[in-house]
Structure 1
């Protein structure tokens, strides 16, 4: 009887330990993982391969993740902000990033790149945090998030335009970078007007 109890405790501990290590991946991690398995250098027969380098695929998933977040946060700004400039900026995010997201999805489809279906955990936390704020607190946090996000996106686009291997993704990044710069300039102007 003692041996059976001991065996059951070991089994329960093993199951508990294993479940601790199987934290669910967020959508971006899942897409990146799927793209790794489609790598043309390793598993082309099983997956159909991927038509771009691993770095280009990672660029696509990162850009898609950020683009989805910009659209979602833009909608939130339209709902929650009391500042007309921020509401207008939010509408521009929904329109502009929505178009860019569609363009990136079309490229990804032709290259067999899996894009995330939802934003990653970091962007979701940012949206959750912002959704709890109101008035000037929301406006300030949203503007700060947009400045930070657009700086990162601009850097991402400039890097891909310069160093990317896939011609279509390089062209996409080169075409998108000036629009991101324009958004960054616009949100910086809003930020300065709030002081």
Structure 2
């Protein structure tokens, strides 16, 4: 039998095998690699937990959010003016939202953001003991300084951070912090001479 006839005779046997190979091995889109066994997504899309300065930023941002929420609640109770009480409510609302976003981001990245530092409790205790116009003045002064530091922290992460998700979080949160600073400065100006 000639080699051509032998090849043609085997063709009916090879065709079902070729079609079987096509149905059991799906094509991988260009640029993607299949996930190794035990992994749910390709290595190229897996996220690593931030380290170094990105992790420090996330922890500090979480602590600052918790502090601003606590102080905002105190301002709604102890504030003398409507403006101070309203600013306190805004702090609670905005920093709660930012903290929820940061916690979700941290959870996706496997970050453990520890509870607030003991210094926050001391600051809150100081403000709990104050009332009236004295509270309003001290609160406005503190909020100006605190938001100036916070803005510096967020700007640094937005421009120099290595984790793109934390960079985006910092960039998106900056306008809120800048508005808070303007509100605190306005309160500070209202309290001059009172």
Deviations 1:12-56 (A, max 9, x none): xxxxxxxxxxxxxxxxxxxxxxxxxxxxxxxxxxxxx96112211
Instruction: Confirm or deny that 1:136 pairs with 2:99.
Output: no
Q: Cα distance, 1:131 vs. partner?
A: 0.8
Aligned residues: 146
CA RMSD across the alignment: 1.3
Are 1:69 and 2:67 matched, yes or no? yes
Q: Which residue of 1 aligns with 2:9?
A: none
Aligned residue for 2:157?
160
Partner of 1:16: none
Tell me the SS of whatever aligns to 2:162.
coil
Query: What's the CA shift string for 1:59-107, capped at 9, x where partnerless?
Result: 0000000000000100000011121000000000000000000000000
Which one has the largest radius of gyration? 2
Q: For structure 1, which runs of at least 5 residues remain unmatched after alignment?
A: 1-48
- Correspondences of 1:52-131 after superposition (within 5 Å): 52-117=50-115, 119-131=116-128
Question: TM-score with structure 1 length normalisation?
Answer: 0.72
**Matched residues in 2 for 1:62 and 1:107: separation?**
14
- Report the equivalent of 1:169: 166
Q: Which residue matches 1:40?
A: none
Provide the C-alpha distance between the structure 2 equivalents of 1:138 and 1:67, rounded to a whole number of angstroms: 21
CA contact (8 A) 2:80 2:135 kept: no
In the alignment, which residue of structure 2 is the partner of 1:188? 185
Partner of 1:14: none
Tell me, yes or no, if the aligned pair for 1:61 and 1:116 is still in contact at 8 Å: yes
Give the whole-Å Cα distance in 2 for the aligned partners of 1:104 and 1:155: 18
Q: State the 1:188 CA deviation.
A: 0.3
TM-score, normalization: structure 2?
0.73
Q: Distance in 2 between matches of 1:130 and 1:179?
A: 23
Structure 2 segments unaligned to the other structure (5+ residues): 1-46
